[in-house]
A and B are shown apart, each in its own frame.
Chain A
Amino acid sequence: MDLWRIIVRVLFGYVFALAVIRIAGKRTVSRTDVSSCVVLIVIGDMFDDLLWGDVPAAQFVVGIGALVLAHVTARLAVFRSGDRKWRQEAGGAGP
């Protein structure tokens, strides 16, 4: 396998993964909770498949995109449910 092809794949995968993770929020990587850890492990495994040409780059893009979308949606849902609880508690404790 040509080495330059590996370099092109790595650069493509790196730029795409970096872009998506930055858009999803820096907390995705800086916060060391269980869900972020799982996301990073899965992204690492997908990267390996792209690097050796086992999967088309389109599948890599759709796979990582879907994973990050699911992560962001789940985080949003958790945030909103926490917000609701806080409001309920604040409302209940009020005069």
Chain B
Amino acid sequence: MKTIAQILLTMTLALAIIAVCVFAAGDRQTLVPPPDAVAEAFVRQAAARRYDRVHALQSWGRREELSAAVLRLYFDPLFRFTGTVNQVDAELVAIDGDDARAVATAYGDLAEARFVFDMVRQDGLWKVYDVSTNPMLPPEQLGMRSFRGIARRAQASTGRRGTIFR
């Protein structure tokens, strides 16, 4: 029993240290996943069709707006177009207070897709509130037309405004 109490005490102490670092000292990248790691995880989970996990990476407001089913409607056509994703690279663009921007590139068998993530810090963690894709490529090249059509259909069926892709 003494051992169990000591382990619980050590865990509490470690969590307190983390809380001080994240909330009082304002740590944004060391003891919490940095924005580029969140962007990479987002693309990896979406490429693996794990939309419930993608859903959890979104900010509160976005989570209510876009369910896992709606995310599936958005991402499935894109990843059908890119083929099986073999590699994902992510890079931090900027952090400004509680806002951040990161870029992730998914390299598939057939094509590559580039995502720009806008993030916000909630409960000390970086969460995605907006994603835009392939700003440098023509929409036809990445099936953006059908993509937008799907977004419109999702919007009509759910009655919610889905603007994950600007």
A5–B29 touching, CB < 8 Å: yes
Task: Report the Cα distance A52→B40, complex, angstroms.
Answer: 12
Chain B interface mostly helix, strand, loop or mixed? helix
Select A56's contact among B7, B10, B125, beta carbons within 8 Å: B125
Task: Report the Cα distance A16→B8, complex, angstroms.
Answer: 12
Does A78 interact with chain B (Cβ within 8 Å)?
no
Nearest CB on A from B115, distance (A): 18
Does A61 interact with chain B (Cβ within 8 Å)?
yes
Select B31's contact among A9, A23, A52, A54, beta carbons within 8 Å: A9
Select B18's contact among A2, A53, A58, A69, beta carbons within 8 Å: A58
Nearest CB on A from B57, distance (A): 12
Known: A16-B14, A23-B10, A52-B37. A72 touches B31 (CB 8 A): no
Task: Report the Cα distance A2→B34, complex, angstroms.
Answer: 11
B10–A16 touching, CB < 8 Å: yes
Residue ID in chain B nearest A6 by CB atoms: B30
Task: Report the Cα distance A65→B12, complex, angstroms.
Answer: 10
A73–B10 touching, CB < 8 Å: no
Chain A neighbourhood of B4, CB < 8 A? 69, 72-73
Chain A interface mostly helix, strand, loop or mixed? helix
Residue ID in chain B nearest A73 by CB atoms: B4
A57–B32 touching, CB < 8 Å: yes
Does A94 interact with chain B (Cβ within 8 Å)?
no
Does A19 interact with chain B (Cβ within 8 Å)?
yes
Chain B neighbourhood of A57, CB < 8 A? 14, 18, 31-32
Chain A neighbourhood of B10, CB < 8 A? 16, 19-20, 23, 65
Give the residues from 1 to 54 in chain B that come closer than 8 angstroms, CB to CB, to chain A: 3-4, 6-8, 10-11, 14-15, 18, 29-34, 36-37, 41
The 3 nearest A-B residue pairs measured at CB:
A65-B11, A57-B31, A61-B14
Binding site for A on B (CB under 8 A): 3-4, 6-8, 10-11, 14-15, 18, 29-34, 36-37, 41, 124-125
Binding site for B on A (CB under 8 A): 1-2, 5, 8-9, 12, 16, 19-20, 23-25, 52-58, 61-62, 65, 68-69, 72-73
